[in-house]
Structure 1
C-alpha cells in the first residue's frame, strides 16, 4: 500500500550512468526516447518527445519487470500519479509534452536497478511509443540532482554555430563548430527534426563535432538545430543541392608529412600531405589542456595534395600544442613544442665547474653579428667580458676560464647583440641555485607609458614584488607567477607614479633580484663633471666612473672607446636627486688593446670627456711547429700564442699549389696560448706546405716540408 503522493521537490541519490534499452518496440518506437538514471533503490525515468514527432504526450504508464515492486514515486510540477492494484503507475497532466520537450518521474523500488516498462500516450489514449529501460551501472555521484531542478540552459543569446564546409553536400560528412555556449553542458543536434548527435560543450564554451547529412533527393532546404534541455534553440536553414550522378574521385587516406618538433612564437609551420581530392579538411589547434586555440578549413586540390601554413601565435604560452587534421573520416595528429622566440639562446655544456677550470658555452645567436659577453660572479661583480664573432650559421661555441680563487656560487652570463639579449647561469664550486634576474626593457619610460620589467627565475614559481622610490618609500607590492619557461613580464602603469627613479625588488625564498628604472626624466644636464678613480688600468680590471650634473634627475649616455677609437660599450644612466651619477658595471676586456681609452658623458647638448690608460701584454698572433721537416703518417705538434683570449683559432694546411689539405679548430687558453696535433696523411706527396692560424681578429702562418 502506498501513501499519499505530493508534487513537492525531492532529491534522489543518483548516478551519472545513462542507458537506453528498447524492448517491445511499436511502430512509433523512435518517437519517444526513454533514459533512466539511478542509485541504489532510487531511479529517475526521463522521457524525451522527439522533435520529429507529431504527437504530444498526455499520459505515461510505467510498471516493473519481475518480482520488483514500487515503494514510492514523485512527479514533476503539474503532473499527478496514481498507483493501480495491478502495479501500474499512471501519470497524467493538464500540460502535454510537445515534440522537443521532456518529462521526468522519480521512483523508489524494493530491488535496485529496476527494469522499467513504459508507455507514452496521446490525449486520445493512443500509444505514441512504448519500450523499457534498465539501469545497468550504479556509481555514487557527489552532485545528487533533484527531480524538479530548473532546466539547464546551455544556449545563450550570443551562442552561434557554423559548418565546415559552409554548405555540406548531400550524403556527406561535415564538421559543426560553435562558440559562446555555457561550458560543460549538453546539447542535442537535429537535422530535419531527426536527432543526430548529443554533444557536450568544452570548458571554454566551444563545440566541435562531426555529423553526416542524409541523401537529399531534391534541392531541399534543410533545418539544422542545436537544442538544450531547457528547450532553447539555435537554428540554421540551408538549401542542400540535389545529389548528382557524377564520378566520385578515388578515396585517398588522409596523411600528414613531416613537421618540426619545436617552433618559436611567431613562426609559421607548413603542413602538407594527401587526402581525397576536392574534399574539405578541418585543422584544429589545441593547448596541452585540450582547449581549442584555432580552427580553420582548407580544400584538398584535384590531385589529392594539400598544404597549410600554421602560424604559431606570438601570444601563445610556452609548452606543447597539438595540431589535428580531420577529413570527417580519419584524423592526423602532430604535437609541437612552442619555445621562446629569443634570438640569443646560449647555455653551458656543464651546469657547474671548479674555480680555475674552463666552461664551454654553445647555442645560437644572430648570424654575422658580433656578440658581447659579460659574466658576473655570485656577488654581482663583473669578472669577464669579451666579444665573440658569430658566423653565417648563427652557431656559437666558446670557452671561458674562471680564475683560481673566484668566489663560489651562481654565476650569470649575459650576451648582447644590438637590442637582443640572452641570459644563462652556471655554478662555480657548487650547482647553480635558483636565482631571480630582473631587468626593465629600457631605462627611462614616459609618464604615460606602460613600464615593462622582465623577470626570470624558477619555472612556474611565484615571486613577491615590491617597488620603492628614490627616498626608499614603498609605492606598491604584488605577486607574479612565472610561466613554464621561468619568464614573465611585469607591467606597471607609469601614470600611477611621479617622475623620478624607482627600484623594483623581486623575491622568492632566499632568491632575490632588483632593477632600477626611471619615469619622465629628460636630457639637458647643464655642466657635467666626470672622472675615473684611477688613471691607469690593466686588461681585465674593473673601473669606476664618477660624475655629477648641473641639473638633477637627468638622463646621460656614457660611451667608452678604446685606443683605436672603437666603441667598446654604451651605458645609459641618470643623475639622482642630488645630481650625482656613477658607472660601476664595466670591466676592461681581457683582450683589450693597450693605450689611451676615452669616456664620454653626454646629456642633450652637454658633454664631457675623460681619458685613462690601459696597459698589458699585446702579443701578436704566432704559430709554431715542433720541427721543420716531417715524414708522411707522422704526428706534427702545433703550438702558438698571442691569440685573442679564449678565442677559437682556425688552423688550415695548404699544399704548394694553395689547395687546402685539412682544417683544425681549437680554443685558446685565457693567456692566448693554444696547442694541438695533426697526423700527416700517409698518401701526402713530398714538398713544401703552409700552415695558417686565424683567431678572428688577426692571422699568421708558417711553413714546413714533407719528405
Structure 2
C-alpha cells in the first residue's frame, strides 16, 4: 500500500480541486496582462497562470530569491519543465501554447518556506509578455486532515529522489477492459526490477535490460471498472511514476464493421532494433505486411492476426544483414490496402577502418566503411600531438558506403595518425602509422555536444584491442560524478551508453583511460541558447582549402552556441553546436575549409538565440608564413625540461607561449624571440604541483598559431 506525505498529498489535492479553492490575489491590477494566483502549505506551492493577454504563451520562468531553491515540481499534461541555476530557476515550456483565456497550474516544493515568487512569461518568439513578483497566500494547517482522508484517491507529487525517470509507450494507445496491451519502456536504468500497478493492484514485475529498456504485455481484467485509473511504475527504492489512463468498455466481439487502420509505425528504425507496428482491423482477420525496397523489389512478407477486439501488433527485430535505406511497407486486410514509408538505418551509424595500419610517406591512405547515405560527412586527420593535418567535408553516397583517399605528402611526417569521420548522428575513428606502426592510443568521441536533461549519450571508443578501459565522468570542477569500465572488442572498438539522469545541467568531461594513455571529450547537459553579447575570433585571417579553423570567443556562461561557416555564395559549408564554459569562453576546431573550397571571402557566424556575431576570413592559396612547433617528446614528469622549439615565418619579432590545462585555463604565460633563421627555442621546466593530465602548449604571433599537446604524469 502506498503512503503519501502530507505535503505531497496536499499538492495533488490542490491541483485537482484548485478550481474550488484558489483565491485571486488583490494585487493584480488592470494593467497586468497575466493573472497569477499562488497558495502554499508549509514548503509546497500551487501557482496558477491565467492568460488575459492577446498573446500565446510558450514559456514560463519561475525563480526564487536568496539561498532558497526548488526541490521538485509537477506540471499539467502538455507542459515540460526543468531546474537550472542550482535549482533556483524553473523553466516550463508548453508543447503547444497557452492561448488567451486559458490557464495552467504548477505544483512546486522548496527547501524552505517562501513568501513571494518571481516569474516571467514569454511568447513563441521569446518576447516578454509579463513579469512580476507575486506574494504567496498561506493556507491553514487545519486542511491537512482533509488531505489525509483523500490520500488514496490522488497522486503524490514527485519530489527529488522519488521521481522515477524513463519513458513508456502503450500499444495500442486505447485501453479497454478484457484486452492486452504491449508496454515499451525506455531509459529506466540498467538492471532495474520494476513493479507495474493498475490503481492499487499489482499487474506484474519486469526487469530492464543493459540499456534500461523493457518490453512486456499487461492484461486488463474484464471486471475492471470503466473510467479513469492510475497506472504506476515503481522500482525497488520506492521511486515511481504515475499516469492517469482512461479505460473504455469492451468492444463487441461480433461486430463486422471494424475499420482497418495502421495507427503506429515509426519513421525510422536501426539495425538490431525492435520494429513495432500496430493498428486495428476486423476481429480475428489476417493482416499481410509486404516489405519492398525503394526500387519496389519485394524483400519479405509477414502475416499477423487481429485479436478479438480487432487490435493487431507486428513486432520483429531488424536483422543486422538487412539492407539499409528507404522502404515501402504495404498492408493488406481483406479488401483494404494501404502503403507506409519506413527508413532502415545502420545500427552503428558510422564504422570505418584504414586499408592498412602502416604507410610510407608518399603513399595513398584509403579509409573505407559504412555511414548514413547521402549525408554531409566531416573528416579530420590528426597527428600524434592532435594537430589537424588534413580537413575535408564530403557527401556520402546513396548506398551508405564510405571511401575516402588522400596522399601522405610533405605535410605529413613519421608518426601515429588518427582519422575521425563524423556525421550528424554518429562518428568513428581509425588509427594508422606513417613510417612506423602506430603507437597505442585511445580516442573517445560523442555523437553531439549538447544533451537534454535525463537523456542518454553514446560514447564511441577506439583503443587497444580486447582491453579493459576506465571511464570517468567529471564536472566542470573536475569532481568525479560517474566511474565505470568497458572492454573493447577484438578490433579495439566499443560503444558506451551513458545515462545522464543523475547529472544536473552543466558542462562535463568524459575521460577514458588505460595505463599511461587517455583521451577525453567535453559535452554539456541541459544548457539553453541565449547567451548575451558574443565576441568571436579565429587564430588566423587567411586559410587554404583543406585547412581546419580554430574558432575562439566569449559570451555568457554555460550557453549553447551554433557556429556556422558560409562560403562566398552564402551557402552553409559546415555547422556545429558548442557551448561556453563557466567563464563564458568557447572554442572549436569542428569547422574548416573543404579541399574543394572556392577561393574568396568566407563568413563565420556564432549564433545563440537572439544574439549573433559574424567575422570574415579569406581563403586563398597557401602562403609561406606560419608557425610550426617541433617538440620531439610528448610525455614528461614533474621537474623535466620541455624544449619548446620550432619554425616561425612571421612579420612579428616575438612569440607568445601559453601552457593550457584540460579546462582551457592558461596556467603559464611565456615569451620568446624569433631568430634570424626563422626559428624559436625556449626551455621550460615542469614545476611541482602540476596535476597529472594533458596540457596544451600554444605558440602565437597574434596572427598565426600552432599548438602541441603533452602528457604530464
Fold shared, TM-score > 0.5 on shorter chain:
no
Q: Which has the larger radius of gyration?
A: 1
Normalised by the length of structure 2, the TM-score is 0.37
